[in-house]
Amino acid sequence: MRSLVVVLTFAAAGLGTISAQDPDTTRPRAQELRERIEERFAQRVQEQLGLTDQQTTKLRATSRQYGDRRWGLEARERDLRLALTGQLRPGVAANPDSVARLTKALLDLRVDYAKTWRDEMDDLSYLTPVQRAQLYVMRDRLLQRVQEIRDERGGWRRRRASP
């Protein structure tokens, strides 16, 4: 569920109007909304997958561990994209070596990001294969819904091109 924190943070930010004059009121509301969504999702997961309290506790810990890894990868991706954007400014000659290195790093990072999802699923051995599949579907639906909300609200968008 921790892996959803990043997504939910940006979804929550996209749900309300962010006021430059009053940034302190937006952040607690987004935090509160994110926490409510996380808790509701965790309850639904426990209920729909028929998890014991022990399984739920383990799932939260596993999700937090991999979510933290993904959070770090996402931060690294933002930095790389910012650097690449700086290299590709109109009217400024880009350094081909830097562009190649940044592009490769972004591609490698995407592979690492996908591996965290696979590794997390592998570490969910305390769930049955059916429970793991159900969790995967539930997360995927939630992530899709968050993206739809972002798109509708014009909030922060994760720019990931699909092949």
How confident is the model over 23-55, as pLDDT tens digits? 556 678 888 988 898 899 999 999 999 999 999
**Greater pLDDT, 33 or 157:** 33
**Greater pLDDT, 162 or 115:** 115
**Quick one: pLDDT at residue 17?**
35
Give the position of tokens 């990868």: 73
Total-model pTM: 0.70
CA–CA separation, 47 and 7 (whole Å): 22
Among 8-17, 18-27, 143-152, the least confident range: 8-17
**Quick one: pLDDT at residue 24?**
55
**Quick one: pLDDT at residue 85?**
95
**Quick one: pLDDT at residue 64?**
92
CA–CA separation, 55 and 59 (whole Å): 6
CA–CA separation, 23 and 114 (whole Å): 33
Q: Where are the domains of the chain?
A: 3-153
- Given a contact cutoff of 8 angstroms between Cβ atoms, the answer to whether 106 and 77 are in contact is yes
